[in-house]
Structures are given as C-alpha cells and as structure tokens.
C-alpha cells in the first residue's frame, strides 16, 4: 500500500526545494549588479545617461542585498519575495537598457534570463504576469526612446522579443511543474523504500532462522541475532567467518567449488547441527546464508506426527476405556471367587495389562492438554513437599529414597498440574533406576545467575548410555518393559507450554565438599520466577 507523506513534511520539503535555487538566483543577481558597477562603462553600458545608469545600479545592488538576506522569505513569504524580486529585476534592467542605448545593449537577454529563473524558482505560479510586466516595460522604454528622438528599433523586433518573454515564461512554468512532480515522486519513492527497508530489517531480525550476508573472502556484511545464537559466536560486521565460524566458512568454500546450495554442519561455538543454505545476493559477489536448526526441524516433524497420532488416538481413547472398565470389573469378580493359584495369577496378568492400557490412554490424552497452561508463582519448597507426600502414598517407602533440598522462599512460574506431572515422571523414573538407598534420589533447586530458577532431579543409578541420550525425549522411546515411552516427551512439552525448559544434563552435580560427579541420570527444569 502506498504511503503518503504527511502534509507538514511536504510543506517543509517544498520550502527547502525552493529556497536552494532562490539562493543561486540571488547570487546571480548580486554578481550581475556588481558587474554593472565595476565593468559597466567598459561594456559600453550607461553611454546615453551615466547618471541614471550608476544610480539604478547602486539601487539594484541595495535591493538585491536587502531582499537576499535569509529572513526575507520568512518575513515576506516565498511567493511575495519572488514577485518583488522579479519586479525589481525587470524595472532595473529596463532603466539600465534606457541608459545604455536600448536594444543594442543586450539587456533584453538578461530580462529573458530573469524571467526564466523566476519561473523555475516561483514554480510557475505567476510567470505569465512576470512576462506581461516585462512586455509592458520594454514597450514603454522603446516608445519613450522613439518620442525622445533617440536611436530605436522597429516595434516588430520589440514584439518578437515580447513573444519570447511569454514563451520563456511558459517553458519555465512547464519545466517547474515537471521538476516538482519528479521531485515529489522521488521523495515518495524514497519514503516507500525506507519503509520497506525497515520492514525487511524487522522481518530478518525476528526470523527463527539465522541469516547472514557474506562478501568476498568470507567477510560478514550483515547478520541477525538468531545467527549468533545458532553459531554460538560473537559475530561482528567486517569480521571473517574463519575467525568465528570456521565450519561455516569451510562449507562456504565448498559451495564455491562444487556449486551446492545446501550443506549440513555442526557449529563450532554452539555445537548444534545446522542446515546451511547458500543463495547469491545482489551483484557484489555476496552470498546470502540461511541457517536452520536441525533440532527444531526434527521437533516440528515430530509434532506433526504426534498431532496426527493424537487425533487418531484421542478418538479411540474413550472407546478403549469402556471395555477396559469391564475388564477391571470382571477381574474383581474373579478375584472374589478364589478358585486357585492359577486363577489368581491370571487375574494379576489381567490387572497389570489393564493398568498399562489405562496409563497409555492417560498419556495420550495428556498430549492434548499442552496448550492449557495457567502458570502461577509456585513456592517450590511447599509444592515439592506436598508432592512427595502424595508420591509417598502412591509409592510406599518413597519418602526415604527421595530427598527434598529446595530452599524456602524460592518460586517458579508453572502450572500446578503440569509441574506435578513433570515431577511425577522424573521422580518415578529416578526411583525406578536408583539403588534404593536412602537419599538415592535428590530434588534440588537454586536461583540461577540469569534470574531463572533451576529445579533438578537426580539419582544414583547406572545413568543413561551415551548412545541413548539423544532419544530420551522422543515419543514412544522407553527402556522399561511396562513404560509407554511418552512420559519424558510429555514432560518436555508441558515445560515448554509454561515457558520453561526440561533438559538432560551432561554431568550430574557433585556432592557437597567433593569433586567427583555423581553417577546416574540428572534432569533439570529451568523456568521463570514470575508468570
């Protein structure tokens, strides 16, 4: 959509565009008046009447100086100032022509120049009036010269000159109008271009992908904040990629050699796996580089798959629970009859599998509650203590295994139900894989330097194999025979829905007073203090 200039800006720009040529026209007037005074006699000016010539020349200089000072336009108005100057020009030049022998002095040419300049400076508003005034002045001068018996020219020549006045005035008017139209168009296009540049810059800054413009020799011309985050490098304009991102610089050279448009690489600073796409940019032998995070792409693909899976499973979840309730009821009836050990074992099998199906249904339905987060400032010490009491009831003896080391007064902005479910999954997994010794599972919390809160769940179990660490948050991945493989995935999704992060730490924290790292798994929830 075309953006119009504000009326005030148009007026200011118009005044400026008219003031500059008026300044040059006044300089021409001053030079001309000075030339009359200094070199007039040598140019055979004032031969008929030296007194009138020098008197008019002095008056012309004074008028040019008085009308050319900076505040004249403000005091008189631009249009009025131009009109006064033209009248002074034509009157003075006509009198000088009278004192210098009439047409043979060449003064009519100067009148033509004055009319042309006035037409351009005045933007064609009164050029016909200026031409008419000059015509009348020249005709009167020639008539008085004829009546006084001085040398004159025929009125046909005078008429041709006067026609020239109107022609010059009309041409100047048309040129002024075209110049004004072109200037306004250029100004409008400049505004549109500046607006488009601001919009493009804002779009690039807010893009989730990293964007760089790289010149010859790998020199960084432009970049957005996401490029810095993905590369993990302190980029600056004018630096080379080899200084801060050697891997990207190598892929850029490979692209120049082989012509490939896309490469995968691992960033030197952040360690992230990135997809780099290279496109030519402009005619300055520059390259436009797009950086995409493979992890984000992978998550998007998984979310699409899970969305489709969720629509399928949610539609049948309730249908599963109806016969499942019947299975539960039948198992209870069988248990009441007490007909032998074999029957009891079969009942346990039925019950265990029914519970497993129920957990699977509950986890699948939890996928649909991701966007229902209502974060609040939860006092972590009180919340974790209440959670452990509830967990201890469900998992007898858990209170002795799980230790709460959360300082009082610390808060985290989370949905209460979501944090409960996350902790239930993390603590349940930790208790399942820990040694079972007292304080085998620990819950710690601390305020980070960046102002966020870290809530840690760690255990002393065998830990997670390096080959499996990248898969722990994938849906339906589990190492437990009775697990659904959705617990950690749902926990991470719930954390992200609350503006928090759930991560698997590379190295568990060391015991207080020691330097050795604890064995086992270590998960960390990083969230905000306030919702």
- Digit-coded pLDDT (tens) for 192-209: 888 887 877 777 777 777
Which percentage of the chain shows pLDDT scores above 70?
73
CA separation, residue 460 to residues 150, 432, 434 (Å): 124, 11, 5
Q: Angle formed by the axes of helices 107-121 and 155-206, to 10°?
A: 30
Say whether pLDDT at 31 is over 70.
Answer: yes
Look at strands 441-447 and 402-405 and give their pairing. parallel
CA separation, residue 128 to residues 77, 79, 109, 169 (Å): 20, 14, 18, 6
Say whether pLDDT at 130 is over 90.
Answer: no
CA Rg value for the chain: 45
Half-sphere exposure of 343 (CA within 13 A, CB side): 11
Extract the tokens encoding 301: 């693909």
How far apart, in whole angstroms, are the C-alpha atoms of residue 403 and residue 227?
42
Q: What is the DSSP string of 58-114?
A: HHHHHHHHHHSSTTHHHHH-HHHHHHHHHHHHHHHHHHHHHHTTGGGGTHHHHHHHH
Say whether pLDDT at 5 is over 60.
Answer: no
How far apart, in whole angstroms, are the C-alpha atoms of residue 482 and residue 517?
30
**Taking a C-beta distance cutoff of 8 angstroms, is the pair 92, 52 a contact?**
no
Residue identified by tokens 């490939």 is 260
| Cβ atoms within 10 Å of 377's Cβ, excluding its own | 13
> 142: which residues sit within 8 A by CB, 6+ positions away?
102, 103, 152, 153, 155, 158
Say whether pLDDT at 101 is over 90.
Answer: no
CA separation, residue 351 to residues 316, 396, 486 (Å): 21, 19, 21
**Domain 376-527: assigned CATH number:** 3.30.565.10
How far apart, in whole angstroms, are the C-alpha atoms of residue 68 and residue 148?
36
**Does pTM top 0.75 for this prediction?**
no
Identify the pLDDT of residue 153: 66
Q: Which of 411, 415, 417 is nearest to 454 (CA)?
A: 411
Identify the pLDDT of residue 365: 63
Q: Which of 352, 346, 235 is nearest to 289 (CA)?
A: 235
In words, the CATH class of domain 207-292 is alpha beta
**Taking a C-beta distance cutoff of 8 angstroms, is the pair 416, 377 a contact?**
no
CA separation, residue 328 to residues 96, 202, 219, 319, 324 (Å): 121, 59, 69, 15, 6
- Digit-coded pLDDT (tens) for 211-260: 888 887 778 877 888 877 778 777 777 777 777 787 887 877 777 666 66
Q: Which of 469, 483, 381, 362 is nearest to 429 (CA)?
A: 483
How far apart, in whole angstroms, are the C-alpha atoms of residue 445 and residue 524?
9
Mean pLDDT is lowest, of 93-97, 124-128, 318-322, for: 318-322
How far apart, in whole angstroms, are the C-alpha atoms of residue 406 and residue 456?
10
Extract the tokens encoding 150: 């001085």
């Amino acid at each position: 959509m075309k953006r119009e200039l504000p009326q005030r800006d148009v007026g200011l720009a118009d005044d400026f565009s008219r003031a500059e040529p008026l300044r040059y026209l006044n300089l021409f007037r001053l030079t001309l008046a000075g030339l009359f005074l200094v070199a007039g006699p040598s140019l055979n000016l004032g031969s008929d009447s030296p007194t009138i010539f020098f008197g008019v020349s002095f008056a012309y200089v004074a008028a040019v100086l008085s009308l050319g000072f900076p505040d004249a336009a403000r005091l008189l108005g631009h249009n009025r100032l131009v009109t006064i100057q033209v009248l002074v020009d034509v009157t003075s030049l006509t009198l000088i022509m009278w004192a210098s022998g009439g047409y043979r002095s060449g003064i009519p040419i100067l009148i033509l120049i004055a009319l042309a300049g006035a037409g351009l400076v005045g933007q064609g508003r009164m050029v016909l009036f200026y031409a008419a005034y000059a015509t009348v002045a020249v005709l009167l001068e020639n008539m008085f010269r004829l009546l006084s018996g001085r040398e004159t020219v025929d009125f046909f020549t005078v008429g041709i000159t006067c026609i020239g006045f109107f022609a010059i005035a009309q041409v100047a008017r048309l040129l002024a109008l075209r110049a004004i139209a072109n200037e306004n168009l250029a100004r409008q296009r400049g505004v549109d271009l500046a607006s488009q540049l601001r919009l493009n810059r804002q779009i690039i800054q807010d893009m989730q992908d990293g964007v760089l413009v790289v010149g010859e020799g790998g020199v960084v011309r432009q970049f957005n904040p996401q490029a810095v985050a993905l590369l993990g490098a302190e980029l600056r304009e004018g630096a080379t990629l080899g200084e801060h991102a050697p891997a990207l610089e190598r892929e850029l050279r490979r692209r120049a050699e082989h012509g490939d448009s896309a490469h995968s690489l691992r960033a030197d600073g952040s360690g992230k796996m990135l997809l780099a796409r290279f496109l030519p940019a402009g005619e300055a032998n520059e390259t436009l580089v797009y950086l995409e995070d493979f992890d984000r792409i992978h998550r998007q693909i998984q979310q699409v798959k899970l969305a489709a899976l969720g629509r399928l499973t949610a539609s049948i979840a309730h249908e599963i629970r109806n016969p499942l309730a019947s299975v539960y009821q039948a198992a209870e009836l069988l248990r009441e009859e007490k007909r032998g050990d074999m029957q009891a074992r079969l009942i346990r099998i039925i019950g265990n599998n029914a519970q497993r199906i129920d957990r699977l249904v509950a986890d699948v339905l939890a996928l649909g509650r991701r966007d229902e987060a209502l974060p609040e400032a939860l006092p972590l010490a009180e919340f974790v203590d209440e959670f452990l009491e509830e967990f201890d009831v469900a998992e007898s003896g858990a209170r002795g295994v799980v230790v709460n080391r959360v300082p009082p007064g610390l808060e985290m902005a989370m949905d209460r139900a979501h944090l409960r479910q996350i902790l239930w999954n993390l603590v349940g997994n930790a208790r399942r894989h820990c040694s079972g010794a007292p304080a085998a599972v620990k819950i710690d919390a601390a305020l980070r330097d960046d102002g966020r809160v870290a809530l840690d769940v760690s255990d002393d179990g065998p830990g997670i194999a390096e080959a499996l660490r990248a898969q722990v948050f994938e849906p339906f991945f589990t190492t437990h025979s009775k697990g659904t493989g959705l617990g950690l995935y749902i926990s991470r999704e719930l954390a992200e829905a609350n503006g928090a992060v759930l991560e698997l730490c590379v190295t568990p924290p060391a015991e207080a007073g020691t330097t050795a790292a604890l064995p086992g798994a270590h998960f960390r929830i990083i969230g905000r203090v306030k919702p």
